[in-house]
Amino acid sequence: MVAKMVFVVAVAVALLVVADRQDVVHKWGVVGSCEVVRSPAGDKNEWRACKEGLFTGFPTLVGDCNFQSQTRGYQYWRCSRSTS
């Protein structure tokens, strides 16, 4: 009985490590993520498109960036160039 529990825990931990290293949670849309996108013409700031995650919703960039708009499944944020 104890051996089965240890095996199940070991498999679960291994799956979590693989998922973390391969960024599976973002690729599958489980958690939200953001990526840098092209700025509108003449805008020198960095823009990010954030995709909604199935479990976590949209990532928040409040404090670092300013919310600009939302379309189906994405939020767009305007950030200063120094934001990483």
Question: Tokens at residue 40, please?
Answer: 């509108």
Domain boundaries, the chain: 1-29, 31-84
Question: Tokens at residue 48, please?
Answer: 């990010």
Task: Give the global pTM.
Answer: 0.64
The residue type of 57 is G
* Residue pLDDT, tens place only, 9-53: 888 887 776 656 656 666 666 788 899 999 999 999 999 999 988
d(CA 53, CA 17): 20
Residue 60 reports pLDDT greater than 60: yes
